[in-house]
Amino acid sequence: MTRVPIAELKSHLSAHLRRVRRGGSVLVLDRQTPVARIVPVDDSAEDVLPTLPPSQPLQGFRIPKRPLVGDQEIDAALETEREERGA
C-alpha cells in the first residue's frame, strides 16, 4: 500500500488512480494521520453504481444568451456593483 499526503494526492491524482486500477491501494494521510484508503472497486460489491441509460435531451429548454441579474445582463450588473463599491 502506498502512503500519500493529501497535497501529493491532489497533485498526482491520475497517477495514483492508475495504480489503484492495476490493483494497488493508496492510504491518504493528513499530517501523518491516515484519513482515507483508495482501493479498487470489487465488481460484486453492492456499492457499485448501476449503468444508467443515456438521458433524453431536455425538450423546450433554452439557454439565455447572457445570464440576467434582475433585469440587467450579468456584465452590466457587475459594473453597477463595482461603481457602487467605488472599485
Q: What is the DSSP string of 45-66?
A: STTSPPPPPPPPPPSS----SS
Please determine, for residue 56, whether its predicted confidence score (pLDDT) is greater than 70. no
Query: 49 versus 82: which is more confidently predicted?
Result: 82
CA distance 38 to 26: 5
pLDDT per position as a tens digit, 12-43: 999 999 999 999 999 999 999 999 999 998 77
Output the pLDDT for position 64.
61
Q: Are 70 and 77 in contact (CB under 8 A)?
A: yes
The C-alpha angle 79, 85, 87, rounded to 5 degrees, equals: 70
Grid coordinates of 81: 456593483
**Is the pTM here over 0.95, yes or no?**
no
